[in-house]
Amino acid sequence: MREPLPLRLYNTLSREKSDFKPAGSEVKLYVCGVTVYDYSHLGHAMSSIIFEVLHRYLEYRGFKVRRVQNFTDVDDKIIRKAVQEGTSADAVSDKYVQSFFDDMDALKIRRADLYPRVTREIPQIIDIIRQIEARGGAYDLNGSVYFRVLADADYGKLSHRSLDEMLQGTRFEAEQGKEHPADFALWKASKPGEPAWDSPWGSGRPGWHIECSAMVLHHLGASIDIHGGGNDLIFPHHENEMAQSETATGAEPFTRWWLHNGMLRLEGEKMSKSLGNIVQVREAIKRHSPEAVRLWVLSGQYRSPLLYDPESIEAQERALRRLRGAVEFQSPAGESAVDGAPYKQRFIDAMDDDLNTPQGIAAVFDLASAIYKGRDSGANVQAAQGTLREITGALGLSLDTRRVAIGAISDAEVDGMVRQRTDFRTQKRFADADGVRKQLEEAGIVIKDGPTGTTWTRL
């Protein structure tokens, strides 16, 4: 196999693809997680799958990776929900942190190495705000602290907007006394009944963006390799996060590669909690297998928007059978082996080009096809089957699992019924044989009569 080309990743900051090389011995990867005030939806799943696949692929290409994904567990919506439900903000966030893990585990998304939570990082947050203050990047206003955008000469560089452009056509919240309309809160003075912590500026809580800065700096350092999230976070969240972090540490760049995934849409609109057009993960997994959801997400390039359509996921369910079928059979012991290497090379080339998963998956299906053809001509395809498992594994796609419905009949029962049907067939009692087959079909078992006997699989 020839020397692989370097992995290239598209960077929102530079607006172009460039050869990826981590600064140190391990890739520092931070992914913006969810605000835990409700059940997660498929958009969160999409983002989580994409950055998990990035993690896996980096490892596949020989990098060591440390992935950190945060939970934002203090926020207006959490507080509001706590009030509605007559409970505490902690209780609300605990509940949805747990449900996030349950959902992502159900989707077989490999967990990050660390999941920090804002409320456990308050001292670090206060430290950073003090550093920003010390560098003239912040000012105190009635117990709140604001970031001074004019103190940051290149503010706007991530979202590629000047302050003038940002102000055009938009009204920033006219907070009394702010030096500039785009100045944003690093620390919010406490209001009665809200969670609050002591600080040099009085009792209060962190602003929206500062938490991520603190968690990145604390757990990964002043400059990280990759920062990921949905493209709806580019502005203001990531823009502000970068401005704060670079002001606090003086280290530039704060993030070497900014990666943003496209939005999941429902009926042409972005799926979002505020629009109310969401499909919760816990609903989706009742209907779809984790593998099908993953293949569906990866069927598009991660920067493009993805349209939710249950039929599309269902189609992946059928496509998966092709892949599973290609590794399930025992290879003929023949000599002329099928060479998986060219397919693997195509896969790597595609993935190296900013994770072109659609193209990578095309190579996967072509390899499956070659395996089937090899089998039919009696070739030894064992090594090729291994390659297929290897490259699907790099996508986090397991080919060994099938949907087994709760209360499904046992393998032994199926085997018994299949034997009985074979007896009927031997006796040419086809009506009885078909009756058994129908029964099995209703239980989700598919019968296949081949030259070497009858096999069955669960759908």
Partner RNA sequence: GGCGACGUAGCCAAGUGGUCUAAGGCAGGGGUCUGCAAAACCCCGAUUCGGCGGUUCGAAUCCGCCCGUCGCCUCCA
Q: Is 154 in the site for RNA (CB under 7 A)?
A: no
Nearest-approach distance from CB 250 to RNA, in angstroms: 26
Helix (H, G, I), strand (E, B) or coil at 362: helix
Given the rule CB under 7 A, which of 81-89, 97-105, 190-198, 358-366 is the region that contacts RNA? 358-366
Alpha helix stretches (DSSP H) within 377-427:
382-394, 411-426
List the structure tokens of 49.
């799958």
Binding of RNA by 234 (CB under 7 A) = yes
In the set 46, 58, 210, 399, which binds RNA (CB under 7 A)?
Answer: 46
Under a CB-based contact definition with an 8 Å cutoff, are residues 368 and 388 in contact? yes
Residue from 11, 72, 247, 331 touching RNA (CB under 7 A): that is 72
Out of 127, 175, 339, 353, name the contact with RNA by CB under 7 A. Answer: 353
Residue of 186, 243, 271, 399 that binds RNA (CB under 7 A)? 271
Q: Is 389 in the site for RNA (CB under 7 A)?
A: no
Residue 233 binding RNA, by CB under 7 A: yes
- Please tell me whether residue 312 binds RNA under the rule CB under 7 A: yes
User: Taken in order 192, 197, 200, 206, is the CA torsion positive or negative?
Assistant: negative
Structure tokens at 408: 């499904």
Q: How far is the CB of 170 from RNA (least distance, A)?
A: 4
| CB 162, min distance to RNA, A | 8
The answer to whether 143 contacts RNA (rule: CB under 7 A) is no
Q: What is the DSSP string of 118-137?
A: GGG-HHHHHHHHHHHHHTT-
Q: Residues 116, 206, 229, 290: which binds RNA (CB under 7 A)?
A: 229
Q: Can you tell me the distance from the alpha carbon of 187 to that of 52, in angstroms, rounded to the nearest whole number?
A: 32
Asked if 18 is part of the footprint of RNA (rule: CB under 7 A), the reply reads no
Are 357 and 261 contacting, i.e. CB atoms less than 8 angstroms apart? no
Closest CA to 22 of 157, 220, 209: 220
Listed ranges 230-238, 241-249, 330-338, 396-404: which one lies at the site for RNA (CB under 7 A): 230-238
Residues 246-265 that bind RNA (CB under 7 A): 261, 263-265
Total residues at interface with RNA (CB under 7 A): 84
CA atoms of 430 and 95, how far apart (whole Å): 56
- Which residues, at least 6 apart from 396, have a Cβ–Cβ distance to it below 8 Å? 49, 52, 53, 56, 108, 109, 110, 294
Among 116, 230, 290, 396, binds RNA (CB under 7 A): 230
Of residues 64 and 287, the one with the C-beta less far from RNA: 287
Asked if residue 325 binds RNA (CB under 7 A), the reply is yes
Cβ atoms 300, 324 nearer than 8 A: no
Q: Which region among 3-11, 26-34, 188-196, 405-413 touches RNA (by CB under 7 A)?
A: 26-34
Which tokens sit at 352? Answer: 């190296």
- Span of 102-110, 216-224, 386-394, 428-436 interacting with RNA by CB under 7 A: 428-436
The least CB distance from residue 96 to RNA, in Å, is: 10
C-alpha closest to that of 285 among 318, 313, 262: 313
Tell me how many helices (H) and strands (E) the chain has: 15, 15
Residue 88 contacts RNA per CB under 7 A: no
- CA 99/CA 374 separation, integer angstroms: 45
